[in-house]
Amino acid sequence: MVLKSSLTITFSLVAFLGFAQKLKPVDQRVDELLAKMTLVEKIGQLNQYTSDRLATGPIAPNSNKFNDIKQGRLGSMLNVEGAKETRMVQEYAMQSRLKIPLLFGRDVIHGYRVTFPVPLAEASSWDLNAIELSARIAATEAAAAGLHWTFAPMVDISRDPRWGRVVEGAGEDPYLGSLIAKARVKGFQGKQLGDLDAVMACAKHFAAYGAAIAGRDYNSVDISERALWEIYLPPFKAAVDAGAATFMNSFNDLNGIPATGNKYLQRDILKGKWQYSGFVVSDWASIAEMVAHGYAKDKSQAAERAILAGSDMDMEGNAYISSLSNLVKLGKVPESLIDDAVRRILRKKFELGLFEDPFRFSDEKREKKVLGAQEHHKAALEAAEKSIVLLKNENQLLPLDRTMKKIAVIGPLAKSGYDMRGAWSVYWKDDHLVSLYEGLQAKLNGKAQLLYAKGCGIEDTSTAGFTEAVETARKADVVIMAVGEKWDMSGEAKSRSDIRIPGVQEELIEAVKATGKKVVVLVMAGRPLIFNYTAANADAILYTWFLGSEAGNAMANVLYGDYNPSGKLPITFPRAQGQIPIYYNYRNTGRPLTGKDMSYKSAYIDVSNKPAYAFGYGLSYTSFSMSNLQLSKKDLKTDGTLKVTFTITNTGKYSGEEVVQLYLHDLVASVARPVKELKDFQKVKLAPNESKTLTFEIDKEKLSFYNEAMHWGTEPGEFKLMIGNSSDNILLETNFVLNN
Ligand code: GLC
């Protein structure tokens, strides 16, 4: 009896102490723990290794990782997978002297068990709620699989489709990119860190990685201070404002200084001006790679430069763990900087509740219940439908006539579920992704006959399959063609110097078109491609990107009108590689090409200045008109707000959604301003003949820019206000004046 009551007292005392600990402010708990740590244990928190099962970069051999964990020389691992495996690895951390739990991170970029459309596809939806929900579901599944942290959202603005990583971002525009960054951070982090369906977000790659010269991955970036602040930094600031728990720096040098060792970026801007309290993880071995950059003579100097510049954690670089102790002893690195980095990391571990229960995310029962849930598939289907962009629809060929009884499905991607996952999918090994063919089979359900021919490969140049494809087309009422890239032709280290549709796929389209049949072309890719023959000759074109687990079902729903396509391009599609970089928010120059006379104008002698498809472009099965533009005033005071109202009407026969875009042009300023900049948009759904009055509000934030001295603010003067359904299709416009 006595034993029982003393045990009860002991347990309740332990519980009380644990509870009391939890009541302490996190910073106090961090400081108390930090005070107990040796220098090696502190540096251990700054050290991150990948699991040996999966390397998402060049692997540095290190066989005694688990021993390092037990000795407190490791603070985090990436690419550890699943509730069981994370529990097993966390057990090693519980054998260390201070039992500091590990953080487990993974690239959960567009879904975990259920794969969502690639991020650039989701950006085409311009549907911020859908984008946030996608991240929310990805986080729910990832957290159920033992993960604490995703290395997403990638918020790099890019104007260069040769760069393979354009697939991971939100396109070319800082305004749209900032809103999407916010939506993704909120989606991943949910209500609060520590919830069992929330993971830490990681805004990456800081900074300007998308401006790699010539679109060649990892290449140098050389941009003006103005471009850095106006184009590349805004989505990162949006991520800070959204509460992103972590940042990841980037491989590139920025004007000669590698981002990983860039004090201006990490300390002056991020941790200084923006007062960022999270932590910065390096990209894969980017600290050690500063030796290759020629910015450090050896790994030790790389470690020194990186920690001084504000890189808190060393991913798979083995630089901090091998050099920082000595650098502190030599007085080259103040221990206070190590302490600051450790605090930032420990704070997140406390916020995640890992000190109360290091295994709380590693619950196999929850993992089994949550992963692949039906409602996740439903959300993935809706996200996929919204991500499809209708580029052409000659004579309203789409939606397809359901009386057609023979449908030819031709092309190397027609039966590929495998490629629908796109770059950076997580759980594709045993996952089933619905192909276009399967989606059509399910949709038609025997009511029409599907004829199939592959026609050719994706990259090979053999035309041996053309004959069969042409014969198949001849038998059909209509032809649906599925062409494009392989899933892994975009993504990291996948830059392409030639962004046409690869192989002989356009020749296949030409051969099929010669039959005289109506041809619908679906282009599947992770980047804008060039396909001028198809653009001119196909009867209808859908840009379907890589749409994830429900790809085929989404494509079938759009083809048959069960979903009216509403996507808009988040990035400009060049007509020729020579136009790159080409983007909508360009400055006018002193010799703009305005009419037919090209002499001495800013133009090419061999191709139009116009893109193949503009930023913000996308058609619908219905049509919309806009009218009755009203401004609350024509003269705006700097601190005032301008109210803009107008009417939009669905003038077609299908219900549909339109993305109404508002652009501004500051006509004259102390710095030449872009001919237009996206400053607001609304996605609105209307039934046939339905009208709605929409309102935009313009305040000084939308009128501000970096002046000649790089100060953010407004200048009095005249502005042009434009409203349209694409950056190259302005339907309403007027001017107003901003006074002092
Ligand atoms: C890669 C990528 C980065 C990713 C990291 C971990 O090299 O650049 O985006 O999060 O390594 O996989």
Could you report the per-residue pLDDT of 507-538, keeping only the tens digit for each? 999 999 999 999 999 999 999 999 999 999 99
Whether the per-residue pLDDT at 554 is higher than 70: the answer is yes
Helical pair 174-189 and 128-144, crossing angle rounded to 10 deg: 40
Mean pLDDT of 16-23: 72
Atom of ligand 1 nearest to the CA of 56: 12
Q: What are phi and psi of 531, to 5 degrees?
A: -150, 65
Res 518: pLDDT: 98
Neighbouring-strand partners of residue 105: 78, 149
Residues 6+ apart with CB under 8 A from 97: 41, 72
Instruction: Mark out the alpha helices in 59-126 (DSSP H runs).
Output: 65-70, 82-93, 119-123
Mean pLDDT of 335-362: 98
Say if residues 368 and 537 touch (Cβ distance below 8 Å). Answer: no
pLDDT tens, residue by residue, 205-215: 999 999 999 99
Task: Report the alpha-carbon distance of residue 199 to residue 47 in Å, rounded.
Answer: 20
Tell me the domains of the chain and their CATH numbers: 24-367 (3.20.20.300), 389-566 (3.40.50.1700), 624-739 (2.60.40.10)
Res 1: pLDDT: 64
Around ligand 1, the residues with Cβ closer than 6 Å are: 56-57, 78, 107, 151, 204, 283-284, 492
| Residue in the structure block whose two tokens are 């949550």 | 370
Q: What is the pLDDT confidence band of residue 619, given thresholds at 50, 70 and 90?
A: very high
Q: Average per-residue pLDDT in the chain? A: 96
Task: Report the alpha-carbon distance of residue 60 to residue 77 in Å, rounded.
Answer: 14
Residues 6+ apart with CB under 8 A from 225: 710
Cα(56) to ligand 1 centroid in Å equals: 6
Cα(78) to ligand 1 centroid in Å equals: 10
Whether the per-residue pLDDT at 469 is higher than 90: the answer is yes
Which of 107, 253, 283, 312 is labelled catalytic?
A: 283
Mean pLDDT of 408-437: 91
Residue nearest to atom 3 of ligand 1 (CA): 283
Res 55: pLDDT: 75
Residue nearest to atom 8 of ligand 1 (CA): 283
Cα(283) to ligand 1 centroid in Å equals: 6
Q: Which of 664, 660, 666, 658 is nearest to 686 (CA)?
A: 658
Res 429: pLDDT: 64
Stated as kind and residue range, the H or E segment containing 170 is none
Whether the per-residue pLDDT at 6 is higher than 90: the answer is no
Say if residues 668 and 718 touch (Cβ distance below 8 Å). Answer: yes
Res 377: pLDDT: 97
Cα(714) to ligand 1 centroid in Å equals: 38
Helical pair 320-329 and 299-309, crossing angle rounded to 10 deg: 80
HEC-encoded secondary structure of 503-538: CCHHHHHHHHHCCCCCEEEEEECCCCCECHHHHHHC
Mean pLDDT of 281-289: 98
To test the ligand 1 pocket, which listed residue (59, 252, 260, 284) has its Cβ within 8 A of the most ligand atoms? 284
How many residues are given for the chain? 740
Question: What whole-number percentage of the chain has pLDDT above 70?
Answer: 97
Whether the per-residue pLDDT at 234 is higher than 80: the answer is yes
HEC-encoded secondary structure of 265-325: HHHHHHHHHCCCCCEEECCCCCCCCHHHHCCCCCHHHHHHHHHHHCCCEEECCCCHHHHHH
Res 595: pLDDT: 83
Q: What is the pLDDT confidence band of residue 588, given thresholds at 50, 70 and 90?
A: very high
To test the ligand 1 pocket, which listed residue (79, 218, 283, 316) has its Cβ within 8 A of the most ligand atoms? 283
Residues 6+ apart with CB under 8 A from 199: 108, 139, 142, 143, 147, 148, 149, 150, 188, 189
| Residue in the structure block whose two tokens are 């900032």 | 178
Mean pLDDT of 228-236: 98
Q: What is the pLDDT confidence band of residue 658, given thresholds at 50, 70 and 90?
A: very high
**Identity of the amino acid at 410:** I
Res 596: pLDDT: 84
pLDDT tens, residue by residue, 389-400: 999 999 999 999
Cα(207) to ligand 1 centroid in Å equals: 14
Question: What whole-number percentage of the chain has pLDDT above 90?
Answer: 93
Whether the per-residue pLDDT at 2 is higher than 80: the answer is no
Say if residues 480 and 520 touch (Cβ distance below 8 Å). Answer: yes
Cα(249) to ligand 1 centroid in Å equals: 10
283: annotated active-site residue:
yes
Residue nearest to atom 11 of ligand 1 (CA): 284
Stated as kind and residue range, the H or E segment containing 666 is strand 656-666
Task: Report the alpha-carbon distance of residue 347 to residue 29 in Å, rounded.
Answer: 9
Mean pLDDT of 673-688: 98
Whether the per-residue pLDDT at 63 is higher than 70: the answer is no
Task: Report the alpha-carbon distance of residue 111 to residue 493 in Å, rounded.
Answer: 21
Q: What is the pLDDT confidence band of residue 62, given thresholds at 50, 70 and 90?
A: low
Say if residues 588 and 147 touch (Cβ distance below 8 Å). Answer: no
Cα(712) to ligand 1 centroid in Å equals: 33
Residues 6+ apart with CB under 8 A from 437: 409, 414, 415, 450, 452, 552
Cα(188) to ligand 1 centroid in Å equals: 17
Stated as kind and residue range, the H or E segment containing 376 is helix 374-387
Mean pLDDT of 158-167: 98
Mean pLDDT of 417-436: 88
Task: Report the alpha-carbon distance of residue 132 to residue 307 in Å, rounded.
Answer: 33
Res 5: pLDDT: 73
- Give the pair of three-digit tokens for residue 611: 């893109």
pLDDT tens, residue by residue, 32-61: 999 999 999 999 999 999 998 777 777 766
Whether the per-residue pLDDT at 430 is higher than 70: the answer is no
To test the ligand 1 pocket, which listed residue (54, 56, 204) has its Cβ within 8 A of the most ligand atoms? 56
Res 638: pLDDT: 84
Sign of torsion over alpha carbons 21, 22, 27, 30:
positive
Res 379: pLDDT: 98
Question: Parallel, antiparallel, or unpaired: how do β-strands 47-50 and 76-78 relate?
Answer: parallel
Q: What is the pLDDT confidence band of residue 358, given thresholds at 50, 70 and 90?
A: very high
Question: Parallel, antiparallel, or unpaired: how do β-strands 279-281 and 406-410 relate?
Answer: unpaired
581 cis-preceded (ω within 30 degrees of 0):
yes
CA distances to 46, 322, 333 from 298, rounded to whole Å, are 19, 12, 16
Whether the per-residue pLDDT at 14 is higher than 80: the answer is no
Q: What is the pLDDT confidence band of residue 671, given thresholds at 50, 70 and 90?
A: very high
Mean pLDDT of 240-244: 98
Tell me how crowded residue 609 is: count the other CB atoms within 10 A of its CB: 15
Cα(317) to ligand 1 centroid in Å equals: 12
pTM for the whole thing?
A: 0.97
